[in-house]
């Protein structure tokens, strides 16, 4: 009985991960890392591992946050990982 109570108490305190859905978190990730050799697939993989809805396209990564679609293009030697524009 005590074990069950402790487990329930722990679960009520533990943060629940619902995925990242905030543009500021996306920008913090994109601007906080620099990799001039990152490609579209690597960028999409990085974003997915941080709980973003990211899909690699031909020369950019499409990221969906709430109702907005962002286009991220790897930017080589420029600051950050990608240039971000709003698609819709």
Instruction: State pLDDT tens for residues 16-53.
Output: 444 545 899 999 999 999 999 999 999 999 999 999 99
pTM of the entire predicted model: 0.75
Residue 66, phi-psi category: left (phi > 0), alpha (psi -120 to 50), beta (remainder):
left
3-16 pLDDT, tens digit per residue, is: 444 344 444 444 44
Q: So what's the pLDDT on residue 1?
A: 54
- Give the phi and the psi of residue 53 in degrees, each rounded to 5: -85, 90
For residue 85, give the 3-state DSSP assignment.
Answer: strand
Mean of pLDDT values over 61-80: 96
Q: What is the pLDDT of residue 88?
A: 86
């Amino acid at each position: 009985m005590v074990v069950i109570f402790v487990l329930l108490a722990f679960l009520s305190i533990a943060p629940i991960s619902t995925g990242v859905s905030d543009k500021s978190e996306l920008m913090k990730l994109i601007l906080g890392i620099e990799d001039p050799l990152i490609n579209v697939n690597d960028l999409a993989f990085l974003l997915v591992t941080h709980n973003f809805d990211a899909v690699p396209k031909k020369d950019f990564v499409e990221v969906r946050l709430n109702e907005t679609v962002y286009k991220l293009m790897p930017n080589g030697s420029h600051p950050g990982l990608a240039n971000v524009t709003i698609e819709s």
